[in-house]
Chain A
């Protein structure tokens, strides 16, 4: 049933243009290509023919649940793991056989990875020292990088004297100091609290835009992926389910997995007709092409909370069970007849009637073709 964007081919996608949050300067990045990567750990298949094309200066996020293979893919690109089969290309050059130390890839890790015996300045200067940059030139460059991440005042401090957010900013400066061909980010924000995560997310994105460095970012946090990346690759069982720009992933998921993994999704019971339509909530709606392949009869129709309409109506098809204020919209939990629990978003200014226990009528407006999946 699932449609794989990349089965056998390299996933490419149009760059999102006019993205708010930063104007891209001259691109210093190189292209990065993952071609048909396979990797198994014992009987577990971590990567199953993963392919991806990243354009110079592009920011791509790998998103997926734990164990989907995203970190393995990143580690293969970094050179910390070897693929059982497949290759990694940087600027068209196969780097698969090059050891990690010679790949020129800057990496920021999930755990704090600063060298405890070195100050922030020395941490940033470490890669420069290995590149034979001497004394004052090294310090000058390291200070520039620390200034870029706003930590000039902390240059002489040791990692234990820095907060988690500051440590990750130093780690970012350290990775950027070597002017890497590709920047790899392995869930660098996951150990931070929400406020710092948000600040650092914006800072990383702005720096990436400013430097134009090709970036591969691994995360299990969809909000991070959707807000930071030019394109997001949603992974499952070592493969891409879909690689697309964030708004397309959200609005036009190609598989039920993507639809349910990205954002909130309702499952409404429906019935497929021979004409290729689906009957749901007393409506007959067209089915999105390709999603009903191999399905017949009873199916689930996947609809986002904002895709449903709700109105107060005695003797309607549902009862409000709960409500949550989300700002401009209120998310209303409704129990439909047939023991189906769904969520409906409604403008908060008009949501006063929908209190728990109220009888409501939920409808699905005719319009775009809907996504269907096998009945759970």
Chain B
């Protein structure tokens, strides 16, 4: 037995590695050049801003007057906008996919309009027709942000839905006794988790960075506060901008990482913000 065990335990000779595989992966020089140029294009302004602000300014940001209320308003708007966007867009997009697939192209065109039409045009139109009671609250701003977030939210949800056999899932669920809402909540939404997370992060990033509408509506959101405060202290204002940018970036990276892990566990593919892939499930075995 010992002899057998020894033989079994003996390390197998290492297989010869083909010469071709041992070569470093070929990566042309011109690719490095383009990558470096693009990196410099984005990093130089950040580096300049960081240098201008100085490290001390980051510690002072949260102590400035108006910071808490501005950030609080922006966060509140982000929450309201996100909830409204999802509540409106998820059932609408699912319904169009399921029952009105011919309207998908029309919906794509409609949802791209907020990108095509400048925000300043939208806000002037809204201010003309909005009732006074709505104008008196920041909720009007949230409603405007829902429109602004529509292109991003729609595309995220649409991409997620394309990865599902929605018709079969609904019919299977229905045959088991589920109504439309139950299927939406228990079957579709859990399978859209990554797409929804993507829509949420994009919406939050948009709300936290939007300036034009808030400024014209005379609300001091975080971006408006940054601009106003820059007149008092440029370095602190710049530090706040960099913090905002960093937090948004961390959020985006977190969603891609978490969603990819979650997706892989359930058979999906890598996740990017606008592409939610799903492997073909099951072979014919």
The reply to whether chain A is a binding partner of chain B is yes
Chain A interface (Cβ within 8 Å of chain B)?
78-80, 99-107, 109, 111-117, 126-127, 130-131, 158-167, 171, 174-175, 178, 184, 191-193, 196
CB distance from A160 to the nearest CB of B (A): 2
Which stretch (B30-38, B138-146, B171-179) binds chain A? B171-179
Q: B22: CB under 8 A from chain A?
A: no
Of chain B, the residue at the smallest CB distance from A180 is B175
**B282–A80 touching, CB < 8 Å:** no
**A78–B175 touching, CB < 8 Å:** yes
Pairs A–B under 8 Å by Cβ, sample size 30: A79-B174, A102-B177, A105-B175, A113-B165, A113-B172, A115-B169, A115-B173, A115-B191, A116-B278, A117-B187, A126-B186, A127-B176, A127-B177, A158-B266, A159-B267, A159-B281, A160-B266, A160-B267, A160-B279, A160-B282, A163-B282, A163-B283, A163-B285, A164-B283, A165-B284, A165-B285, A171-B172, A174-B172, A178-B176, A191-B284
Of chain A, the residue at the smallest CB distance from B281 is A160
Among A112, A116, A166, point to the contact of B266 (Cβ < 8 A): A116
Q: B91: CB under 8 A from chain A?
A: no
CB distance from B72 to the nearest CB of A (A): 35
Q: Per-residue CB proximity of B177-195 to A under 8 Å, as 1/0?
A: 1110010001100110100
**B172–A115 touching, CB < 8 Å:** yes
CB distance from B176 to the nearest CB of A (A): 4
Residues of A within 8 A of B186 (CB): 126
**A80–B174 touching, CB < 8 Å:** yes
Of chain A, the residue at the smallest CB distance from B285 is A163
Of chain A, the residue at the smallest CB distance from B168 is A113
Q: A130-B176, A175-B175 in contact; A117/B285 too (CB < 8 A)?
A: no
Given contacts A131-B177, A171-B172, A192-B285, 19 further A-B contacts (CB under 8 A): A78-B171, A78-B175, A79-B174, A100-B171, A100-B175, A101-B175, A104-B177, A106-B175, A107-B175, A109-B168, A113-B165, A117-B266, A130-B177, A130-B182, A162-B282, A165-B284, A167-B282, A175-B176, A196-B284
**B172–A109 touching, CB < 8 Å:** yes
Q: What's the count of A-B pairs with C-beta under 8 Å?
A: 108
CB distance from A368 to the nearest CB of B (A): 42
How big is chain B's contact interface, by range?
20 to 34
Residues of A within 8 A of B284 (CB): 163-165, 191-193, 196
Chain B interface (Cβ within 8 Å of chain A)?
164-165, 168-169, 171-179, 182, 186-187, 190-191, 193, 265-268, 278-279, 281-285
A169 to B237, CA, bound (A): 62
A183 to B234, CA, bound (A): 72
**A161–B267 touching, CB < 8 Å:** yes
Residues of A within 8 A of B176 (CB): 106, 126-127, 130, 174-175, 178
Tell which of A78, A117, A167, A196 has the most Cβ of chain B within 10 Å. A117
Among A102, A109, A193, A196, point to the contact of B171 (Cβ < 8 A): A109
**A164–B285 touching, CB < 8 Å:** yes
Of chain B, the residue at the smallest CB distance from A127 is B176
**A193–B285 touching, CB < 8 Å:** yes
CB distance from B208 to the nearest CB of A (A): 30
A164 to B172, CA, bound (A): 17
**Shortest 8 CB-CB distances between A and B: which pairs?**
A160-B267, A163-B285, A127-B176, A117-B190, A113-B172, A107-B175, A160-B281, A164-B282
A130 to B193, CA, bound (A): 22
Q: A159-B281, A163-B285, A165-B285 in contact; A111/B177 too (CB < 8 A)?
A: no
CB distance from B159 to the nearest CB of A (A): 16
**B266–A111 touching, CB < 8 Å:** no
**B171–A101 touching, CB < 8 Å:** no
Residues of B within 8 A of A167 (CB): 281-282
Tell which of A104, A109, A174, A193 has the most Cβ of chain B within 10 Å. A109
